[in-house]
Amino acid sequence: MTEKVYIDPENIDFSLIRKAADLIKQGGIVAVPTETVYGLAVNLKMQASVNRLFELKKRPQEKNFTLHIPDESDVDFYLEVLPPYGYRLIEKFWPGPLTVIFYSKIIPGTLGARVPNHKVCREILKETFTPVIISSANISGLPAAVNSQQAEEYFPEGLDLIVDSGPCQYKTASTVLDLTQHPAKIIREGALPKKDIWSIIRKKRVLFVCTGNSCRSVMAEYLLKLYISRDSFLSEDIEVESAGTLALPGSSVSEETIFLLKQEGIDASGHRARRITREIVHTADIIIVMEQKHKESIAAIEPKAFSRITHISSFLPDLPDRDIPDPIGGSEDVYRQSFAVIKTAVQNIADWLKE
């Protein structure tokens, strides 16, 4: 009979976590809990163990298993750069019951991946330090096990360990989304409803970038938010953010910017600066920069984002290829001049988004 251990999610015994992880690293098959269904975990780097999993489940070899990773930030180690809505789905639903399929960096072809929302499972994944695939604990074609007892009934022999952490939360498999197709295609609707997925995919995210994220990009962000709030179509489908290439995270907006936006009926006093990161870049469909050097900074962070970067002068027909100078430290008139140019550009951006 297969050994079975209980790990309390609220009082985790890390010696048992290490035991499960070591077995997986060494080529064992371990039944583990997730928030969806119980799964069988295997070291992806050990082909003999993967083959053994196929045999144990009586699963066709052409059907791939899903990579389970402990943290959403790990996705770029295993998959190629996703489309922006792919990262927004991860931002919204990971950890959680969403599997995304995209081009793999570690095996030929495509690979499904997800971050489970289960404390015990994620701790085991963290401890393995190797790519782990997890397939539902069942014989292929039969309902997946939703507790350790059912996993044990399916596999009275053949497993190296069963980890019991109580029944699964959803008791149904994850939703599987293929991002290699355009538009994305739901391969299997599971615990995550398709309406929740499409509500993210249909949206576009506009990102304004300046240097300090305390004046120019803030002006643009809040003006565009104001304009799209007046249009029911845009307000549902457009998100607006800003960041700075050299921003001091958490710093406040300049007083001059707060004053100018207040005259438009906008309160930006609560805005706090963000420094641009690869993660922020990944989620944006349209990146609008104030200066050419910002475009170069972003491209250095993520070269594949280059085609999504636009200079704000693109929306100023009378001022082609002109940078918007940084007004920080300048006079009130300098701020007003920058604000006037940005306001005109943002009005044109709002009109362009309606097309």
- 202 assigned to active site: no
Q: What region, left, alpha or beta, does residue 213 occupy, with left being phi > 0 and alpha being psi -120 to 50 degrees?
A: left
- 52 assigned to active site: no
Residue 283 near residue 91, CB atoms below 8 Å: yes
Cα–Cα distance measured from residue 84 to residue 296, given in angstroms and rounded to the nearest whole number: 19
Helix (H) or strand (E) holding 86, with range, is helix 84-93
Cα–Cα distance measured from residue 79 to residue 96, given in angstroms and rounded to the nearest whole number: 18
SS3 193: coil
| Cα–Cα distance list, 256 to 179, 262, 326 (Å) | 44, 10, 13
- 210 assigned to active site: yes
Neighbouring residues of 261: CB distance < 8 A, sequence distance ≥ 6: 218, 219, 222, 223, 267, 268
Catalytic entry in 231, 322, 326, 336:
326
CA atoms within 13 A on the CB side of 41: 29
Give the type of residue at 85. Y
Place of tokens 């080529």: 27
Catalytic entry in 216, 267, 278, 322:
216
Instruction: Please state, as a whole number, how many other Cβ atoms lie within 10 Å of the Cβ of residue 304.
Output: 12
Residue 132 near residue 113, CB atoms below 8 Å: no
> What is the rounded radius of gyration, in angstroms, for the C-alpha atoms of the chain?
25
Catalytic entry in 210, 275, 285, 351:
210
Beta strands in the chain (DSSP E): 4-6, 30-32, 39-43, 66-68, 98-103, 110-114, 132-136, 161-164, 175-178, 185-188, 204-210, 238-244, 286-289, 309-311
Catalytic residues: 210, 216, 326
